[in-house]
Amino acid sequence: MDNKLYVGNLSYAMRDDTLHQQFANFGHVASAKVMMDRDSGRSKGFGFVEMGSPAEAQAAIQGLNGKQIDGRALTVNVARPMEPRSGGFGGGERRQDSYGNHRNRY
């Protein structure tokens, strides 16, 4: 997965197609996605780009990391795998009672 890149410090006006265009100068772009807030519909200011090969990804990192686009210096590096999240709603930890039932502890 050395060809999947994290792109941070994006302008809030950046969209998928514009992000794709910026990275296309460095090789084949398999996908480009700006992460959007589902409630407001506004960009979260970061996204992910998958390049065609690790060599193209490295070229994009060297060419775009720190580059000013829309008045903001991009952060571009190899994306880390997503860490597992703890599931569920609410706070507290889950415990088993003496009968083996799970209950939230508040």
Q: Could you read off the pLDDT tens digit of each residue along the chain, which spans 106 residues? A: 589 999 999 999 999 999 999 999 999 999 999 999 999 889 999 999 999 999 999 999 999 999 999 999 999 999 998 778 776 555 555 566 666 666 655 5
Q: What is the DSSP letter of 3?
A: T
* CATH class belonging to 4-78: alpha beta
Which of 26, 17, 1 lies closest to 80, judged by CA? 1
Question: Quick check: 36 and 44 in contact, CB under 8 A?
Answer: yes
Query: Which residues are CB-neighbours of 64 under 8 A, at least 6 positions away?
Result: 7, 22, 23, 26, 74, 76
- Provide the whole-model pTM: 0.77
Residue 28 three-state SS: coil
Q: Which two tokens stand for residue 105?
A: 């502890």
Indicate the domain borders of the chain.
4-78
